[in-house]
Structure 1
Amino acid sequence: MADQPSSNSVCDAKNSLQKRFMDGEESIILNPNFDDGLSNWSAWGSCKLALHDSMADGKIVPFSGGKYFAAASERTQSWNGIQQEITGRVQRKLAYETTAFVRVFANASASSAPSAPAEVRATLYVRAANGREQYVGIAKEMATDKDWVQLKGKFLMNGEASKTVVFVEGPPAGMDILLGSLEIKHAEKAPPSSPPDFENVRYGVNIIQNGDLTDGSDGLSGWFPLGPCKLAVVASGAPRVLPPMARDSLGTREPLNGRYIHVTDRTQTWMGPAQTITERIQLHVAYQVSAWVRVVGAQGTPQNVNVALGVDTQWVNCGQIQATDGRWYEIGGSFRVETPPADRVMVYVQGPATGVDLMVAGLQIFPVDRKARFRHLKYLTDKVRKRDVVLKITASDNLAVDCALPPPLVRVRQIKNSFPFGSCIARSNIDNEDFVDFFVTNFNWAVFSNELKWYWTEPQQGSFNYADADELLDLCKKNGIEARGHFIFCEVESAVQGWVRSLNDTDLAGAVQSRLNGLLTRYKDQFQHYDVNNEMLHGTFYQDRLGRDIRSSMFKAANQLDSAATLFVNDYNVERAADTRATPETYIEQILSLQYQGAPVGGIGLQGHVTAPVGPVISSALDKLAVLGIPVWFTEIDVSAANEFVRADDLEVMLREAYAHPAVEGMMLWGFWELFMSRDGAHLVNAEGDLNEAGRRLSSLLQQEWTSRAHGRVDGQGEFKFRGFHGTYSVEIRTLTKKVTQTFTVEKGDSPLVVEISL
């Protein structure tokens, strides 16, 4: 008879396996390939689970390397699928990577065609000890019945859980989900990026060949027509000065020669002058684009004109404007190439309707010297965000400080910056102590990712959820952090929940008023700002349904319900110069129209979702918006780049441009923690709490460069002088016999602030 393992050895084996789960060394999925049949697997929702080695008369077989697969059939809801409980095997604050192989199958009773693609999702269900439920999206892919598709993604569980389940869901009811394998392992940390080599970059040098149109017998050396249009160089008639955004970057007023390319016989919108620049592009470098453009034959109809970059089969919008007959327009923008092109990189100017002639002059593409720009911004920041301070030290008997004694020693430390620096946060984030610590250390303002939006607070008519927003607001109050209300409504239809879209116009108007009454009465005086109707440059849902006046009515009603809150417009792409729907001019026109209708618009929100930002392009938009005299806020800043050093540079551009501009009165990041960002390659802190270069750059600016400190001795006049950022300060003054501490606030002002301190 064979020896049986002792109870101790079995227990040791289980403990060893559990330790490997906890250390992230072992897959936390049991029976991942269905080698033990359906052991540890079950149906999620109302459906049936079966094991197969083939289906559809052998047309569907396991994916390579597998023997079996599971099928969830007779699904009555899109969320029905295949699940495994992983409670106790998944650790909070540890990042996991999920890899699955999936496909779908439309059986004879399904309404979908057999080959119709359907979305398949991997989702994490988490139930906290207090009963709170959360669903975390891990990954999604489009699948068919033709091939197995890899479903891959990462997740992080912030808080303690009483139950945790991973399940595969997504296709329409009636369509089967096939799962060939599913693994979840501790995610390997991405290796740190290397700083790009910018040593040989020739900043400010135009990479366009023959940009002045003087080379070749026809002046077109290096240029070619994209498509069967015609190019001709005209010797004069174009502007002879650099476009303003280029002039700001280059720091020169060197004139242009007035020559331009005239493009005729255009039979497609994409036709125009082009040039191949493959060999002149350097990876990771931010390039600024600048040109003058004009259209002929538009007959008063505004025409889109844009500078486009073609990288192999992809194209990037590098600047876009709307032009009408009769004048030259500045076009400007930026781009960056992050991976080596397989074939070629081409730049071309395109856009107007067929039959409309296009004129292009002074096209320049040049690397931007960000360090030089930063030096300029530091000078502007000192003027805008600092003030001279005089500490006037007197003895307690109102006599001058005794000159026979050593002068008192003074140490000044800023303990709070009054400029609003903030970030968005989500309810699930605050279960993670490391997240909260970074947040309260670096920021003094907050905005909620989703928890105040209508589709979150009232997902079904009459069913309200304010608990998440309440908890976030409590966290802010406990840490002295102000909060923005984002948003009351959103004009983009995809952000409007289904039950609202289904209402008739009369009921919709009533629901809008109920939303205003419910939200602003509940949180009266608790949110400093509200984004009243988000993204009105890009959506028209409420305006189409309830008429043009509904937008101003929303502002007026919000003001009546909470008069202390500043009411904002909020939109994206305004600062990018690449979206004709969202130019500074169209934004100004919208704001003026609202004000004309009596809407109390008190703030301008620029979202700030920018890639390869260029300072003068952003500054130009701010200059234009500043004429309204309304505070401008960057409300949702994020920058995206795979290389963390490039990302850090991009973030620094955005922060410095905002902080140096007098019209900007606050800035908010749209997150900072990996796996909780709306864009990939945008995080400042990885999922497990490690700062990358972008995070270190942020902390350096906020905690060091933009925080004032001073020390020294009182001068012969009994004064100590320094220049400091606006905010709250603590000063310590020591003599041989005394130590005095005092706090004071440096507010905006042109004249020196005099602070009296008595010893």
Structure 2
Amino acid sequence: MDDETHPILVLQCLAEPLKPQYGGGIISNPGLNHGLSGWSVFGEAKIQHRSSEKGNSFIVAHSRKNPLGSFSQKVYLLKDRLYTFSAWVQVDEGNEPVTAVFSTNGGMIHAGAVHAESGCWSMLKGGLTVNSSGPAELYFKCKNTTVEIWVDSISLQPFTEKQWRTHQDQSVEKARKKKVRFQAVDAEGKIFAGARISIQQKKASFPFGCAIDKNILNNSEYHSWLFSRFSVTTFGNEMKWYSTETSPGKEDYSIPDAMLSLVKQNGISVRGHNIFWDDPQFQPSWVKSLSPDQLRNATARRINSVVSRYKGQLIAWDVVNENLHFSFFEDKLGNTASAEFYQRAHELDGSTPLFMNEFNTIEESGDGSATPAKYLQKLREIMSEKTGPIGIGLESHFRIPNIPYVRSSLDFFAAAKLPIWITELDVESNPSQAQFLEQLLREFHSHPAINGIIIWSGYSPTEDCYRMCLIDKNFKNLPTGDVVDKLINEWTSRNLVGSTDSNGTFGISLFHGDYDVKLTHPSMNSTLTRSFEVTSGDSGASEDTMLHEFHLNTCLADPLKPQYGGGIISNPELNHGLNGWSEFGQAKIEHRSSEKGNSFIVAHSRKNPFGSFSQKVYLLKGRLYTFSAWVQVDEGNEPVTAVFGTNGGMIHAGAVHAESGCWSMLKGGLTVNSSGPAELYFECKNTTVEIWVDSISLQPFTEKQWRTHQDQNVEKARKKKVTFQAVDAEGKKFAGAKVSIQQEKASFPFGCAITNYILTNPAYKDWFVSRFSVTTFANEMKWYSTETSPGKEDYSVPDAMLSLVKQNGISVRGHNVFWDEPKSQPNWVPSLSPDQLRQAAAKRIDSVMSRYKGQLIAWDVVNENLHNSFFEDKLGKDTSTSFYQRAHQLDSGTTLFLNEYNTIEDSRDGKSTPANYLQKLREIQSQQTGQIGIGLESHFKIPNIPYMRASLDVLAAANVPIWITELDVESNPSQAQYLEAILREAHAHPAINGIILWADWRPQGCYKMCLTDNNFSNLPTGDVVDKLINEWKPKGNIVGLTDSNGTFEVSLFHGDYDVKLTHPSMNSTLSRSFKVTTGDSEETMDHVFHLNTVHDV
């Protein structure tokens, strides 16, 4: 079951209580199986022992004269013990809050509370600690004295601090880490023991951060302190309404804009805090006197303004702050004001989670205004509207923490399956402040339901912190800061080294995050490197082991069998001598066999590059042919190409770097414009080597067969089966429940390049943002655009473009840092000396990457360095690699791409074949270059779809991200048809991570392909794009009914969804937001809706 399922906002209410936890612990007679033994009257009440029809025993307090009139049991509590408490509670009528209280020498301790119901049992879960050992008395409290209190299955279990810490460590191992196994093998599966594995964590996944204030804008020490520690932040006050609109209509976002730009350049994510604050004291001064109508207009303007401005740039919104303790907007605008604000926020920024944010929910068990039960009740009200993804924000302003109560409260919230963040953590100043902070951080980090932690400790050179500082005015750690640094180091996997065992494996448990790994072995003369991510997953995912195989050799001692049995090739395995094969060009051919008896064909004594062997075949128009062969040369390492001579000319079907001593697979494909005879032969420029070939295959497919395979791939790579089930708390299944599903956002990145004209043309902007989720700036980020003369940098245009698209939730690929083409340099660069160029290049990479660090999803570091070598010619052959090295140092969290043309477009271009591309990729990966990706420009004339697929298959073996980065098709009568064929092939291939169309609009025309005319009406190519966008997402609402098993199953494209469930037995609608993620398509995501016709909370 996917960890991102959101089963319930329903409290379980059972017909019979469960057994007491831990057998009741130190409670005497916990299941009331021995009458009232151990229990006494407390306060003014009468107590009674009763049994249900099924024979279950419980205790009842009736005839209650005051709120604390109930029953009690005396226990002895020890200092330095952590007590978990639970009980199952019922009232005889209605729905009432019931609290468990311990009376101690130090005062009353509220251990927990629950909304108890009549007719079923609800679990009260809580906990406590005491400051000194001594006697205590447990009793129950309910303000409504007219109801009876029924209780059963009471438990009070003590734990030592060591036991508690052990459980935390076990939870961390399960919730925050995953076992990873590395294996060193060759292509035949031979195991390599003694390989050295070196692992370095680049980035931790768990969001841990600290609030900041505007002082960070002009304090470099503050920068360094924050950015070296944290990955997420909240602005203390700068985004709040009273900061951005100090007088009506006069908005000023300059400070939060600058803060957001600064932290995002440093890869820090931001929580939006807040849109509204329900506390009357914290309104803009001019707001309090507004009439309801004026306030309604002002709030509409506020929410539209701030959410539209920062749409897509934040990871969360605190929509209404502290609306359990306060009700300024509800008092003025009506009880549904909060829900309406959340609804509008979702309309404005549909992909960002919207949070409640409240204090004393986990800090103070005695605050009845914000108990976990009341929090979920408010959340339920908000979610009854179309509010999209909702989260639970827990401020966590502590005095003396009650850690068992904290855990029990988090357990309670965890059942809602919603994101939970600790949003404003601090501890009141006292001698144990640092100790309490560490206890809290350990408890939060170890709890699997917590998605992130923000510490509330902004820095000011002139003012004290709100309640807790981490550092002094000189940025030296205080004891609280030492705690934070200690835990950051503890929660990071650093510089780990090991060796593979006799099975060729090395296993280790790693914190979730991004890593670089290097593998070396005495038999290798190079280092294999890889970047990988350790991710969270299913709730039991830590039991799964991620396997990373390092193939030390992809060249086989013996070739595999021919694909498709050889297809239409005669004698494909050479088992019948040279039958079907002839000499081609000036060469001699020979039939040979290996020591193991494997037969193959050899071309030797070659006088020209195409001197080899051939076979004649008949090719049909309208067929798509896949081609493969296993190839070897007798010495060295040489490119060998498979060529088909046809009436229309020579067609290069594919190429491979063949080696001596082992067999390499040549994979390719072709189509022909007209049916007719063809002759297959092989070509190698080095005429001194022999060409050996075996297991040749040429397999034709109809267009229908090809399309069927694409559809099957889409189903497997882009979709997942999702099952919805309607059951009650006892597991009873509900048939006939109506399930309505709406996609909010598609996950597959599909985009189009843009130009600066989008900044001034609203029609261009509207056309673009309504279709695409990702973009590339065609020229505006390139060196020749940002530094037209030495030292005079101007990023104003790309800055404005980035701001515009991010406000609309659109991601950006960074294109490019350098371009290796001599004609595409700033005009002042070609004349520089090598030393001057080295300095200018260093300044360029530092400038552009520092500016946009953490704000882009990719960097094209060196563009087209297979076809061109401007920088290598000037600065040395390792220049590209050194640029990637520096780029990784500057922005280690962003994938760095090669970007090249004709790798999949033109099989005749020997410079950028898939084999040459992978060779260049390995050169760059051999250094510390982080996560590398493959960028395929895809500037097509007439596409060879089988060759495209074969090339993607070859590149996919590198196991790195692959993007189609600049897709267009040369203008011709079949342009739209070709575009559709390419898009379908790219989208269907599981190795493709995203597609960018190179159709950036200018009034004077596009580069090679436009999607619209100058009025933004679709051209045929635009119709293709719109058709596929609609095809690659659910069409409108998907509606279905649960079957006799209470289930409804559907296959959904990856993305964000809202789902609603109704049933005739319910008087309300259950709603949920969920995400369909990539992963194993064979797995089915299960979403269980627990229907409760007694009481939905």
Corresponding letter in the other structure for 1:320: A
Determine the structure 1 residue equivalent to 2:787: 458
Q: Which has the larger radius of gyration?
A: 2
Q: CA deviation at 1:580?
A: 5.4
**Equivalent residue in structure 2 for 1:423, among 752, 766, 770:** 752
Q: Give the TM-score, by structure 1 length.
A: 0.57
CA distance in 1, matches of 2:688, 2:778: 46
Helix, strand or coil at the partner of 1:500: coil
Q: Does 1:529 align with 2:861?
A: no
CA distance in 2, matches of 1:283, 1:501: 48
CA distance in 2, matches of 1:687, 1:213: 59
Corresponding letter in the other structure for 2:896: L
**Equivalent residue in structure 2 for 1:543, among 851, 866, 872:** 872
CA distance in 1, matches of 2:956, 2:640: 23
Determine the structure 2 residue equivalent to 1:291: 629
Q: Does 1:449 align with 2:778?
A: yes
Q: CA deviation at 1:449?
A: 1.8
- After the TM superposition, which of the residue ranges 692-701 and 350-359 deviates more from structure 2? 692-701
Q: Is the 8 A contact 2:859 2:896 kept in 1?
A: yes
Q: How does 1:325-404 map to 2 (within 5 A)?
A: 325-338=660-673, 347-361=680-694, 363-391=696-724
CA distance in 2, matches of 1:687, 1:336: 35
Q: CA deviation at 1:604?
A: 3.3
After superposition, the Cα gap between the structure-2 partners of 1:571 and 1:601, relative to the gap in structure 1 and judged at 3 Å, is farther
Corresponding letter in the other structure for 1:505: P
CA distance in 2, matches of 1:494, 1:450: 14
Q: Does 1:631 align with 2:961?
A: yes
**Equivalent residue in structure 1 for 2:974, among 626, 640, 643:** 643
- After the TM superposition, which of the residue ranges 689-698 and 558-567 deviates more from structure 2? 689-698
**Equivalent residue in structure 1 for 2:1057, among 729, 738, 742:** 729
Q: Give the TM-score, by structure 2 length.
A: 0.41
CA distance in 2, matches of 1:368, 1:684: 31
Q: Does 1:656 align with 2:987?
A: yes
Determine the structure 2 residue equivalent to 1:707: 1034
After superposition, the Cα gap between the structure-2 partners of 1:590 and 1:213, relative to the gap in structure 1 and judged at 3 Å, is closer
Q: CA deviation at 1:484?
A: 0.7
Q: CA deviation at 1:290?
A: 3.1
CA distance in 2, matches of 1:402, 1:653: 41
After superposition, the Cα gap between the structure-2 partners of 1:718 and 1:327, relative to the gap in structure 1 and judged at 3 Å, is closer
Determine the structure 1 residue equivalent to 2:591: 234
CA distance in 2, matches of 1:684, 1:408: 43
CA distance in 1, matches of 2:1072, 2:973: 46
Corresponding letter in the other structure for 1:234: H
Q: How does 1:59-458 map to 2 (within 5 A)?
A: 219=579, 223=582, 225-226=584-585, 229-232=586-589, 234=591, 258=599, 260=601, 262-273=602-613, 280-283=618-621, 285-296=623-634, 299-300=635-636, 302-310=637-645, 315-338=650-673, 347-361=680-694, 363-391=696-724, 407-428=736-757, 436-458=765-787
Count matched residues: 517
**TM-superposition CA deviations, 1:573-603 (whole Å, max 9, x none):** 5557766554555555544544443222343
- After the TM superposition, which of the residue ranges 530-539 and 544-553 deviates more from structure 2? 544-553
After superposition, the Cα gap between the structure-2 partners of 1:434 and 1:281, relative to the gap in structure 1 and judged at 3 Å, is farther
CA distance in 2, matches of 1:287, 1:585: 20
After superposition, the Cα gap between the structure-2 partners of 1:523 and 1:219, relative to the gap in structure 1 and judged at 3 Å, is closer
After superposition, the Cα gap between the structure-2 partners of 1:544 and 1:307, relative to the gap in structure 1 and judged at 3 Å, is same
CA distance in 2, matches of 1:733, 1:686: 44
Helix, strand or coil at the partner of 2:715: helix
Q: CA deviation at 1:446?
A: 0.5
Q: Is the 8 A contact 1:488 1:532 kept in 2?
A: yes
CA RMSD of aligned residues (A): 4.4
**TM-superposition CA deviations, 1:712-753 (whole Å, max 9, x none):** 234567665444232111224456765565533333465634
Q: Where in structure 1 are there 5+ consecutive unaligned residues?
A: 1-202, 241-256
Q: Is the 8 A contact 1:684 1:691 kept in 2?
A: yes
Corresponding letter in the other structure for 1:423: C
CA distance in 2, matches of 1:657, 1:210: 33
CA distance in 1, matches of 2:758, 2:845: 27
**TM-superposition CA deviations, 1:68-110 (whole Å, max 9, x none):** xxxxxxxxxxxxxxxxxxxxxxxxxxxxxxxxxxxxxxxxxxx
CA distance in 2, matches of 1:211, 1:742: 57
**TM-superposition CA deviations, 1:421-467 (whole Å, max 9, x none):** 22222334776666555533332111122221112222333454534
Q: CA deviation at 1:473?
A: 2.3
Determine the structure 1 residue equivalent to 2:140: none
CA distance in 2, matches of 1:237, 1:493: 49
Q: Is the 8 A contact 1:219 1:233 kept in 2?
A: no
Q: CA deviation at 1:505?
A: 1.8
CA distance in 2, matches of 1:447, 1:306: 34
CA distance in 2, matches of 1:284, 1:380: 22
Q: Does 1:600 align with 2:600?
A: no
Determine the structure 1 residue equivalent to 2:141: none
After superposition, the Cα gap between the structure-2 partners of 1:339 and 1:497, relative to the gap in structure 1 and judged at 3 Å, is farther
CA distance in 2, matches of 1:549, 1:264: 36
Q: Does 1:752 align with 2:1073?
A: no
Helix, strand or coil at the partner of 1:517: helix
Corresponding letter in the other structure for 2:606: R
After superposition, the Cα gap between the structure-2 partners of 1:420 and 1:541, relative to the gap in structure 1 and judged at 3 Å, is same
Q: Is the 8 A contact 2:719 2:1054 kept in 1?
A: yes
After superposition, the Cα gap between the structure-2 partners of 1:238 and 1:703, relative to the gap in structure 1 and judged at 3 Å, is farther
**TM-superposition CA deviations, 1:156-198 (whole Å, max 9, x none):** xxxxxxxxxxxxxxxxxxxxxxxxxxxxxxxxxxxxxxxxxxx
Q: Is the 8 A contact 2:584 2:610 kept in 1?
A: no
Helix, strand or coil at the partner of 2:957: helix
Corresponding letter in the other structure for 2:961: P
Helix, strand or coil at the partner of 1:267: coil
Determine the structure 2 residue equivalent to 1:554: 883
CA distance in 1, matches of 2:650, 2:733: 73
After superposition, the Cα gap between the structure-2 partners of 1:437 and 1:364, relative to the gap in structure 1 and judged at 3 Å, is farther
Q: Is the 8 A contact 1:374 1:656 kept in 2?
A: no
After superposition, the Cα gap between the structure-2 partners of 1:441 and 1:490, relative to the gap in structure 1 and judged at 3 Å, is same
Determine the structure 1 residue equivalent to 2:954: 621
Corresponding letter in the other structure for 2:684: G
